[in-house]
Structure 1
Amino acid sequence: MSEDNSNNTHFGYKTVEAEKKADLVADVFHSVAAKYDIMNDVMSFGIHRLWKRHTIEVAAARPGMSILDLAGGTGDLTAKFSRIVGNTGSVVIADINDSMLKVGRTKLRDRGIVNNVSYVQANAEALPFPDNHFDIITIAFGLRNVTDKDAALRSMRRVLKPGGKLLVLEFSKPKHEVMRKVYDLYSFKVLPKMGAMITQDADSYEYLAESIRMHPDQETLKQMMIDAGLEQVDYTNMTDGVVALHRGYKF
């Protein structure tokens, strides 16, 4: 799903050498990190908060649990999980991009979230954690930026505890044609202009729009999760399928 052949992969609509994609994605997020939260609110009209709230509800975390917030960015999910798991639990926020982690660390510490959160710079394809380690893993709006998605899903399954749950929150394919047309118009005409105004970086938001279109649709991602060894995989569409929350378990 992630590669054209053994050497090439997609970076938006471009075909690039697979080994170079991580650096190209890193450049995008280095560029937008400082204003990432502002852009999320503006470009989703604040709806991303509802998508993430639903993810927290489905996660059903409890005090004492160990949670990995992968591609955690600026820490929106980590902040919620930290309060839920309490002092007897722990949350790891992991991201391949150090600029995003720095913004997240500053934001969470400013909110007084310190004791049960740790920060790890990590590649989702080869997570630096022991087998059977986390009760819950979430990856929100990050999987589409991973070079080898299949390897990443296998890596996530490996570090889940038996009975553990993986939640993948990601942009997907709208169900209805009218919504698809409106969404395309917004993504390719409006979004880059917002990026130019707010972050002075239209190119990064053009890539983000393209990366959404290149990401597997709901059924394809469901099968990828099954192929990675996850069980009882299902998904919920939100906002007509603009976003989907996939859920799978390790048994």
Structure 2
Amino acid sequence: MTTALITGATSGIGASFARRLAGDGHNVVLVARNEERLRQQAAELHDRHGIEADVLRADLATDEGIAAVEARLSDRTHPVDLLINNAGFGNKGEYLEVPMADELAMLKVHCEAVLRLTTTAVKGMRERRRGGVVNVASVAAFVPRGTYGASKAWVVQFTQGAARDLAGSGVRLMALCPGFVRTEFHQRAGMGTSNIPDWLWLDADKLVDAAMKDLARGKSLSIPDPRYKALMGAVKLAPRGLLGGITSRTGRKYGPQ
């Protein structure tokens, strides 16, 4: 039986990945900061699907937290076959309004953790000549909007570049770029969502289903909804200054999770 490790597993997109993968018969390793929620989730997945569900409390904004997950990914006796780098957060406010410590924490979680965990996982996967990594980015990667969008743009570029380098190795890497998803993400960041049109909202379970299909097809980039695919096509043609103004009016960022 294969094992999947999911960061940011207790809510939103991460929880949807955990349910989907457990339902498909994968053992899971659930990573988040809230141990109580992790244990409750693990028990529910085990009871419902009969799989093994381990928990790992880790704060990926810290070196200790990243190192703890690296250690689990390095375990050759219990290898991880699929890594979902989903942990992430948003900061309320525009550039210079957000404390530098919060901006640096975001880069730690969105960039350093993704780099370190992907690299650790892929080393073992390449030796076994099988495995996959999904790095959750955002459609914010394609619009000029602050540290959040910049960090997600890095995730996309890194993932697609690594996927090219690993072609033919048996290891698949994919950047997942959702738009607005109905989760706890915006509430946790203190961001209002009343100005976001209903048609822009995505369902997390449907998003994960589309992402898994794209991973199986060998895609290195997944924008899992026709509406957002059309929007991102328009983005390529629109002036960057105009895009910045639009994203300012619709919220600080497009937010997965």
The normalised TM-score by structure 2 is: 0.44
**Higher fraction of strand:** 1
The normalised TM-score by structure 1 is: 0.44
